[in-house]
């Protein structure tokens, strides 16, 4: 399976910064052609980043989508058809920051995931436990529940569109990444829960140029979802060069 590197730029970069970084990454792409690289800028930067990476082998991703309708009176939301028209191929669903700050429920995450699959795009379902759950040793049950709730009602043959990102909340943006061994164990468990060898499972949470190779070498780690480190040009280039 081709390793996937997904960059989640969150709300870190302006439009011009996003385009500049996208250009730098697509210039590098010929040297890293064995990797699938996906950039997820903010909604407002999607169109211009899409132009900057067009025909350069880098794919466009969105950080979110409206769950519940393709169009209508939903002020401030962005629908799936807009994303598709802009050339988006991947959509993050259920990122822990959305679950935490915007109170997204498993049911909404499930609706988003189905919306993305129905539109012919690929959802990246984000799951991961809090530090409290980890301390209680309940992370496997918790993550299994998130995975099952996320894919509820999706026919098995449609699962080949799906990607999963395991991102323990305590590792996101903290500089305290999981260990490759523990991530590998959890991702093996997720694979069992999902019951398919074809769903890529990514690790995310404080990935940087020092630990990226070790994560990608671990069993069951098919790629990386990178936040902070993917917004810093030199650091992200370093990661891409090291892991290709
Ligand atoms: P981080 O974020 O790499 O900054 O920890 C990862 C993510 O939230 O996807």
For residues 193 and 168, give the distance between their C-alpha atoms in angstroms, rounded to a whole number: 17
72 Cα: distance to centroid of ligand 1 (angstroms): 32
Q: Residues 91-139: pLDDT tens digits? A: 999 999 999 999 999 999 999 999 999 999 999 999 999 999 999 999 9
For residues 21 and 150, give the distance between their C-alpha atoms in angstroms, rounded to a whole number: 32
78 Cα: distance to centroid of ligand 1 (angstroms): 22
**Which pLDDT score is estimated for 30?**
78
Nearest-atom index, ligand 1, CA of 97: 8
For residues 103 and 100, give the distance between their C-alpha atoms in angstroms, rounded to a whole number: 5
Residue to mutate, 207, 212, 231, 235, ligand 1, most ligand atoms under 8 Å from C-beta: 207
**Which pLDDT score is estimated for 164?**
98
Model confidence at 32: pLDDT above 90? no
For residues 19 and 7, give the distance between their C-alpha atoms in angstroms, rounded to a whole number: 14
Tell which residue, 43, 42, 40, 24, has the closest CA to residue 32: 24
Nearest-atom index, ligand 1, CA of 228: 4
Q: Domains of the chain: which residue ranges? A: 3-243
**Which pLDDT score is estimated for 151?**
97
Residue with tokens 């011009």: 16
Model confidence at 76: pLDDT above 90? yes
Task: Please state the φ and ψ torsions of residue 213, each to the nearest 5 degrees.
Answer: -65, -45
**Which pLDDT score is estimated for 166?**
98
Nearest-CA residue for atom 7 of ligand 1: 227
Nearest-CA residue for atom 3 of ligand 1: 227
Nearest-CA residue for atom 1 of ligand 1: 227
For residues 27 and 5, give the distance between their C-alpha atoms in angstroms, rounded to a whole number: 16
**Which pLDDT score is estimated for 13?**
98
**Which pLDDT score is estimated for 49?**
98
| Residue among 97, 129, 139, 167 flagged as catalytic | 167
What percent of the chain has pLDDT above 70? 100
Q: Is 226 in the pocket of ligand 1 (CB under 6 A)?
A: yes
101 is catalytic: no
Tell which residue, 148, 181, 183, has the closest CA to residue 166: 183
Q: Is 228 in the pocket of ligand 1 (CB under 6 A)?
A: yes
Residue to mutate, 11, 41, 226, 235, ligand 1, most ligand atoms under 8 Å from C-beta: 226
| Residue among 95, 97, 104, 129 flagged as catalytic | 95
- For domain 3-243, the CATH architecture is Alpha-Beta Barrel (3.20)
Q: Residues 174-219: pLDDT tens digits? A: 999 999 999 999 999 999 999 988 999 999 999 999 999 999 999 9
Model confidence at 54: pLDDT above 90? yes
**Which pLDDT score is estimated for 29?**
78
Q: Is 225 in the pocket of ligand 1 (CB under 6 A)?
A: yes
**Which pLDDT score is estimated for 73?**
98
167 is catalytic: yes
């Amino acid at each position: 399976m081709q390793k996937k590197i997904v960059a989640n730029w969150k709300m870190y970069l302006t439009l011009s910064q996003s385009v500049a970084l996208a250009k730098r990454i697509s210039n590098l792409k010929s040297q890293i052609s064995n990797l699938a690289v996906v950039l997820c800028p903010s909604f407002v930067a999607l169109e211009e980043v899409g132009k900057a990476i067009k025909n350069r082998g880098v794919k466009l991703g969105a950080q979110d989508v409206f769950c519940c309708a393709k169009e209508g009176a939903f002020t401030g939301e962005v629908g799936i058809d807009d994303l598709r028209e802009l050339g988006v191929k991947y959509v993050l669903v259920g990122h822990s920051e959305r679950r935490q700050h915007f109170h997204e429920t498993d049911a909404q995450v499930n609706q988003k995931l189905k919306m993305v699959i129905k539109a012919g795009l690929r959802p990246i379902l984000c799951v991961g436990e809090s530090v409290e759950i980890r301390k209680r040793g309940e992370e496997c049950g918790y993550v299994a529940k998130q995975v099952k709730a996320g894919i509820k009602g999706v026919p098995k043959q449609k699962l080949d569109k799906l990607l999963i990102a395991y991102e323990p909340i305590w590792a996101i943006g903290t500089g305290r990444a999981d260990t490759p061994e523990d991530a590998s164990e959890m991702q093996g468990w997720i694979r069992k829960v999902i019951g398919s060898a074809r769903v890529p499972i990514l690790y995310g949470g404080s990935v940087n140029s020092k630990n990226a190779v070790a994560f990608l070498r671990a069993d069951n780690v098919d790629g990386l979802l990178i936040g902070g480190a993917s917004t810093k040009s030199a650091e992200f280039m370093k990661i891409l060069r090291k892991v290709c």
